[in-house]
Amino acid sequence: MLNPVMNQLSKEQPNSKSVINLAIDEGFISLRCLSPKKLRFEIEYSLGKGTTSNSFLFYKDKEMTAVLINPPGSNFEEVFIPALRKLVSQNIKELIVIVGHINPNRVNLLRTLAKEYQGLKIICSNPGGKLLKELWTQIKPTKENNNSTKRKNVPAIPTINLIKQETSISISNSYVIRLIPTPTARWPGGLISFEETTGFLMSDKLFGAHICTPEWAERNRVSTEDERRHYFDCLMTPMISQVNRIVEKLELLNISTIAPSHGPTIETSWRSLLNDYQRWGDQQTQASINIVMLFASAYGNTAAIADTLAKGINSTGVQVKSLNCEFTSTDELRTAIQNADAYLIGSPTLGGHAPTPIVSALGTLLSEGDRKKPVGIFGSYGWSGEALDLLENKLLDGGFEFGFNPIKIKFSPNAEIVKTIEETGAKFGRKLVADERRHQRRLSGGINVSKSDPALLALGKIVGSLSILTAQKTEEESNISSAMVASWISQASFSPPGITIAVAKDRAVESLLHNDDSFALNILNEDDYQKSLKQFLQPFPPGANRLSGLNLLSTPGEQPILPEALAWLECSVKQRMECGDHWLIYAEVLHGKVLNQNGITAVHHRRTGASY
């Protein structure tokens, strides 16, 4: 059993960051940075379970060279740098850093390492080196200032060794690292490291999960499946064809352990995880509607908006194909545009302009895009938003119709804005699905064959109680709430008392119903349920507070209660099972109360099992 040693351990401050040093083998150490709180605004952190950042060090006392793989971003600098100093002397002749992906947050930490270690050398992929050189002297703008003084203190860029194809390098203690370039739209500089003698795969962004746990490895596949699936849905689905090719290549390796940059390692069930990635991806590749998403991102904000928008669209069963314009050929752009059913294009604003690759992609879209298909634009900016104005004006002048209002975010979006963007994507996807169904009905003479199917007519005779599911989640400075009408409900267990609820994947409340989340089930009264149905069946714009203006009570766990309900239950989600276009959620009942002893439960009767 591996024995961890924790640095910066703060039992008195359980919400603070810490580092665990873990000896994997002789001269082979893992440095696991832990944060109980989420560190960034991106949607993949939205479960609110904190995160870990796993890096790996090959070093033996008195040796003149150390190799560090996948250091964390600057969010962990305050605990990581002191932990590294204790292991590796600042007087060491050479510190080689292998970087699995490049982003501004990680570049910030690399700058600090360059100041700490004079012999710093960096190994990264060829596209990663291009990004590193572009970002090295750039300072992310903030609301306070433009950071011009910080730009003057940037150290000289270290020596960079570029990996253009799969390569193996020998390091201390006879370890051999195979470096595998793994470019994707989100991380064009992707580089996976595989230690050949131990079978240890350092997969960087692949197979991760944002969850704060000191546990070295997951107990079993079920223990972290919800977190890994959420991470996959947020980041991997828009580039699933590239991810599948990488997974197929990794299956050929003699793996013993997969160690992603985020979350616990996977030891005994790593092959099951590879199969899960392919199975989850197959659901997207089988979609009948596909959208091409063209983007570039300077500081990561525009890419994060792209991830959020894509997740909302994917929840409706529509496929999003993400292309990073900076690393995509004109021929590939042209083909993707010609084959798409809708178009999305996102850009930052740099120096008052759109990046050159976006301008080029815009020209291709204007020349190859079908004006009958909807378009959407999105992006972030610091001090001005000229790039987004350019996209909007050119596309309007070109005769395109917008599927949603342009998404223009100054600096980084907060949790409420992220939720609004996700709901915007879901609304856009639902519109495309509805348009396709109308088109199919016209082709078939306007007869809806499915609703008259005898089996579906029989399925419609199953009835359920009418309820309003309400959920509220408070974390740090944000408070997110949502609600939906629910009728696919059943008691599932006596001990502990539990229920199952089917929730459509594109429901706004779905993101608040992950493992350990709480919610309230407001069971409606047969005598007066119409007012509640009218309130919660109305169309809500993306980001709207569905509980605004209502006179609400609260459960012991501060979940919203409708006073007019017949009864209420407060529940905690324990398991989620994917069932086609719905999630089946099993939840344990924590509290409950009958508010009207003489009332009768409202029941939902349907004509067919083809719809609600």
- Share of residues in the chain with pLDDT > 70 (%): 94
Is residue 423 pLDDT above 90, yes or no? yes
Determine the average pLDDT of the residues in 161-173: 92
pLDDT in tens, 312-341: 999 999 999 999 999 999 999 999 999 999
Note the pLDDT of residue 5. Answer: 47
Is there a contact between 52 and 77 (Cβ–Cβ < 8 Å)?
A: no
Comparing C-alpha atoms, which of 178, 153, 158, 160 is closest to residue 168? 178
One-letter identity of residue 160 = I
Is residue 417 pLDDT above 80, yes or no? yes
Note the pLDDT of residue 27. Answer: 93
Here the tokens at position 536 are 């919660």
Is residue 253 pLDDT above 80, yes or no? yes
Comparing C-alpha atoms, which of 63, 34, 67 is closest to residue 51? 34
Here the tokens at position 73 are 């971003």
pLDDT in tens, 462-472: 999 999 999 99
Note the pLDDT of residue 601. Answer: 97
Q: Are strands 478-486 and 518-523 parallel, antiparallel or unpaired?
A: unpaired
User: Any idea which architecture 287-432 has in CATH?
Assistant: 3-Layer(aba) Sandwich (3.40)
CA 291/CA 346 separation, integer angstroms: 13
Determine the average pLDDT of the residues in 69-90: 95
Note the pLDDT of residue 13. Answer: 45
Burial of 389 (0-12, 13-18, 19+ CB in 10 A): middle
Note the pLDDT of residue 15. Answer: 66
Note the pLDDT of residue 141. Answer: 64
CA 192/CA 186 separation, integer angstroms: 15
Task: For residue 100, list its beta bridge partners.
Answer: none
| Residue 40's pLDDT band (cuts 50, 70, 90) | confident
Determine the average pLDDT of the residues in 543-559: 95
Euclidean distance between the first and the last CA atom of the chain, given in angstroms as a whole number: 52
Residues with Cβ within 8 Å of residue 476, at least 6 apart in sequence: 37, 38, 415
Q: Which CATH class is domain 452-604?
A: mainly beta
Note the pLDDT of residue 60. Answer: 85
Is residue 6 pLDDT above 60, yes or no? no
Q: In 3-state terms, what secondary structure has residue 476?
A: coil
Look over the chain and give the mean of its residue pLDDT values, rounded to a whole number: 92
Note the pLDDT of residue 479. Answer: 87
Note the pLDDT of residue 448. Answer: 59
CA 236/CA 608 separation, integer angstroms: 36
Determine the average pLDDT of the residues in 46-72: 93
Q: What is the pTM of this model?
A: 0.92
pLDDT in tens, 210-242: 999 999 999 998 899 999 999 999 999 999 999
| Residue 382's pLDDT band (cuts 50, 70, 90) | confident
Total Cβ atoms within 10 A of residue 149: 9
Task: For residue 585, list its beta bridge partners.
Answer: 501, 576
| Residue 152's pLDDT band (cuts 50, 70, 90) | low
Q: How far is CA 594 from CA 483, 524, 530, 597, in A?
A: 20, 11, 19, 6
Here the tokens at position 125 are 């992929």
Q: In 3-state terms, what secondary structure has residue 125?
A: strand
| Residue 447's pLDDT band (cuts 50, 70, 90) | low
- Share of residues in the chain with pLDDT > 90 (%): 82
Domain 4-282 of CATH type 3.60.15.10: yes
Note the pLDDT of residue 168. Answer: 96
Domain ranges of the chain: 4-282, 287-432, 452-604
Peptide bond into 413 cis (omega under 30): no
Q: How many residues does the chain have?
A: 612
